[in-house]
């Protein structure tokens, strides 16, 4: 049986992106479960509530930057000052922003694995998932 990623999280206020990401990720058959959050505040509350429950924390996160209430950068600031039982949580930025400011800021967060510009193709998602599984 092929190894799968136990839990992937999408943190994005764009419902269409959430829906299309779910469909693409499910079609790859590389992920067991997917959990969605519409902003960084809801996501960080969930992460903190389950910080000691490894199975409840995602292995891989797709994080939007521009969201209401708490944007992606604010989420990352909260995320990095906390300790989670699951140490290896891979985070990819998934954004429509190709600004130099955001790209430069991305480089200041060593835990971030990649910067994906929307729209993200099925093959890009496939590559990320395969890299997470060590298939590539």
Give pLDDT, residue 86. 86
Residue ranges of domains in the chain, CATH in brackets: 5-133 (3.40.50.2300)
Whether 6 and 33 have beta carbons less than 8 Å apart is answered as: yes
| β-bridge mates for residue 23, sequence order | none
Q: What is the pLDDT of residues 84-117, one digit of tens each?
A: 888 889 999 999 999 999 999 999 998 899 999 9
Give pLDDT, residue 87. 81
Give pLDDT, residue 1. 64
CA dihedral 104→105→109→115, nearest 10 degrees, is -70
CA 51 to chain centre: 16
Q: Which residues of the chain have pLDDT under 50?
A: none
């Amino acid at each position: 049986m092929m190894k799968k990623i136990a839990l992937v999280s999408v943190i994005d206020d764009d419902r269409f992106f959430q829906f299309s990401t779910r469909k693409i990720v499910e079609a790859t058959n590389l992920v067991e479960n997917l959990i969605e959050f519409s902003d960084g505040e809801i996501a960080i509350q969930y992460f903190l509530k389950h910080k000691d429950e490894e199975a409840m924390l995602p292995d891989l996160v797709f994080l939007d930057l521009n969201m209401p209430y708490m944007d992606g950068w604010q989420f990352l600031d909260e995320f990095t000052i906390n300790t989670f039982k699951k140490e290896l949580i891979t985070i990819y930025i998934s954004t429509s922003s190709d600004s130099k400011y955001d790209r430069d800021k991305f480089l200041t967060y060593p835990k971030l694995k990649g910067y994906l510009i929307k729209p993200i193709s099925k093959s890009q998602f496939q590559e990320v998932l395969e890299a997470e599984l060590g298939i590539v």
